[in-house]
Amino acid sequence: MNSQSLILQLISVSLLLSVPLVSPALQPAPGCPTKCGNVDVPFPFGTRPDCSLDDSFHVICNTSFNPPILYDRDAPEEALEILEISLDGQMKVGSLMAYGCFDKKWLPMDYQLYAPKFVISATRNKFVAVGCDTYAFIEGSEEKNYFTGCTAMCDKIDRVENGTCSGIGCCQMSFPKGVKGFRLSVHTYGNHTLVKDFNNCGYAFVIEQGSYHFSSSDLMGLRKRINDYFPVGLDWSVGNLTCEEAQKNDSSAYACRAINSECYNPSNGIGYNCKCLPGFQGNPYLVNGCRGTN
């Protein structure tokens, strides 16, 4: 074999190795970061345009914080901090609360959260209001008309039952499907005048079910947490076609890339999700993502 044909052979081998099996946009570029600070960023999510499946999965890792902070979009004022992403179509973001306090006068502070690319989980979140002279509203923002609220009252602190949120000092409501954002507001009937010794503020927040256990100490104590994040569960899915449509009409854009993967339609929101077949685990969105477990 002369050197020319050896070179040709080497070139063709390297070409073979470098030809991707699928359109490159559907797989992350080599060397894509898979973490931002302490948060895993699995594909289809990516912190660079060539690392995410499409725009809706392009998330922002801001490394000027230590540890770096992951945001859902490039909009510093409104972006949501992502606390966790999991491959089962769920994620968690940080949300603040709305509150109102009567010090010398009634000073309410509303709170609004909007997740344009995702949908707020209808099954994993609760709307909660805490107070003894409090009613609070939640209103769907953008997309969907939705407006409701609940009232939390109590006359004596020893009537309040720890761990029970059913109207005495705390009320809660479940969350509807298809909501991408909400606005919270807190109101009072009588300025907390009759309960001010143990409760001078009302609070309202959305929080992942099971992450909040009401306690009488919150009637005063939640005021210290007005800058704290409450975890809110979001659902994510790919595109706006169902599994059947996506498989049928544009299979080159079909995101369930792993050989041992399958598609399913989410119960909340549009688009589809992928999962590894039983007996396999890993990332169904990557070509060789689903591996046998035995």
Ligand X SMILES: *[C@@H]1O[C@H](CO)[C@@H](O)[C@H](O)[C@H]1NC(C)=O
Stretches 31-39, 86-94, 243-251, 280-288: which one binds ligand X (CB under 6 A)?
Answer: 243-251
- For ligand X (CB under 6 A), the number of binding residues is 18
User: Do you know the residue count of the chain?
Assistant: 294
Pick from 12, 14, 86, 240 the residue near ligand X by CB under 6 A.
Answer: 240
Closest by CA position to 58, among listed 39, 71, 45, 68: 45
- The verdict on 245 binding ligand X (CB under 6 A) reads yes
- The verdict on 190 binding ligand X (CB under 6 A) reads yes
- The verdict on 62 binding ligand X (CB under 6 A) reads yes
Residues 6+ apart with CB under 8 A from 73: 59, 60, 79, 80, 116, 117
What residues does 170 pair with on adjacent strands?
Answer: 130
- The verdict on 3 binding ligand X (CB under 6 A) reads no
Based on CB atoms, which residue is closest to ligand X, 113 or 219?
219
| DSSP, residue by residue, 110-131 | -EEEE-TTSEE-SSSEEEEEE-
Pick from 13, 155, 250, 288 the residue near ligand X by CB under 6 A.
Answer: 250
- The verdict on 247 binding ligand X (CB under 6 A) reads no
Pick from 47, 125, 185, 216 the residue near ligand X by CB under 6 A.
Answer: 216
Based on CB atoms, which residue is closest to ligand X, 14 or 217?
217
**Residue 106 Cβ, how far from ligand X at the closest point, in Å?**
5
Structure tokens at 273: 């999700």
Torsions phi, psi of 30, nearest 5? -60, 145
Q: How far is CA 46 from CA 29, 73, 160, in A?
A: 10, 11, 46
Ranges within 128-187 binding ligand X (CB under 6 A): 162
What residues does 61 pair with on adjacent strands?
Answer: 70
Q: How many angstroms separate the CA atoms of 260 and 252, rounded?
A: 17
- The verdict on 105 binding ligand X (CB under 6 A) reads yes
Q: How many angstroms separate the CA atoms of 257 and 158, rounded?
A: 58
Torsions phi, psi of 246, nearest 5? -65, -40
Based on CB atoms, which residue is closest to ligand X, 14 or 162?
162
- The verdict on 249 binding ligand X (CB under 6 A) reads yes
Q: How many angstroms separate the CA atoms of 48 and 68, rounded?
A: 15
Stretches 2-10, 13-21, 89-97, 215-223: which one binds ligand X (CB under 6 A)?
Answer: 215-223
Structure tokens at 200: 């001078």
- The verdict on 215 binding ligand X (CB under 6 A) reads yes
- The verdict on 12 binding ligand X (CB under 6 A) reads no
Based on CB atoms, which residue is closest to ligand X, 18 or 158?
158
Residues forming contacts to ligand X in the complex (CB under 6 A) are: 60, 62, 64, 76, 105-106, 162, 190-191, 193, 215-217, 239-240, 245, 249-250
